[in-house]
Amino acid sequence: MIKATLSAEHDEAPIPGTYMFDGNAAMKGYALNKMCYSFNNAENRAEFLVDQEAYCRKYGLTALQTKAILEKNVLDMIHNGGNIYYLAKFAGIFHLNVQDVGAQQTGMTVEQFKKFIKSQGEN
């Protein structure tokens, strides 16, 4: 019931492979996204790298969110309320760009993913 009231577009058909970052996701992912938002600051990025698990604890991440962070599993982060704009700041710490992240989520190699992107311009 809560779902229906928090998602403004709950009655529209889902889009496969696509996550609308709505009220439900924003509540679920708040701690995770807040932690990633902190990575705008270089000192925070350094502190995170010293002890990643402790940093996750400091921000109150759930066990599943912490696991996704430690494993650098972007889809799991998204399933646990992560928003890609904040997750990009996490990825940046490890010098992963959006193509690395795209490849990971689609199960392709980065080269395959780049080819796939380019192929969509070839008709």
Q: Which of 54, 98 has the CB closer to other proteins? A: 98
**Of residues 24-53, which lie at the interface with other proteins (CB under 8 A)?**
26, 30, 33-34, 36-37, 39-42, 45
Local structure of 43: helix, strand or coil: helix
d(CA 110, CA 106): 10
Quickly tell me which residue has 């940046």 as its tokens. 92
| Cβ distance to other proteins smaller for residue 67 or 100 | 100
CB of 94 to other proteins, least distance (A): 10
For other proteins, the closer of residues 62 and 92 by Cβ is: 92
Residue 109 sits in the site that holds other proteins (CB under 8 A): no
- Residues 72-91 contacting other proteins, CB under 8 A: 74-75, 78, 83-91
Residue 99: enclosing H or E segment and its boundaries?
A: helix 98-106
Task: State how far the Cα of 110 lies from the Cα of 35, in Å rounded to an integer.
Answer: 27
Cα separation, 86 vs 37, whole angstroms: 6
**Is residue 1 involved in binding other proteins (CB under 8 A)?**
no
Task: Please check whether residue 53 is in contact with residue 70, taking contact to mean a CB–CB distance below 8 angstroms.
Answer: yes
Q: What whole-number distance in Å separates Cα of residue 66 and Cα of residue 85?
A: 18
Binding site for other proteins (CB under 8 A): 7-9, 12-13, 15-23, 26, 30, 33-34, 36-37, 39-42, 45, 74-75, 78, 83-93, 97-99, 101-102, 105-106, 113, 116-118, 120-121, 123
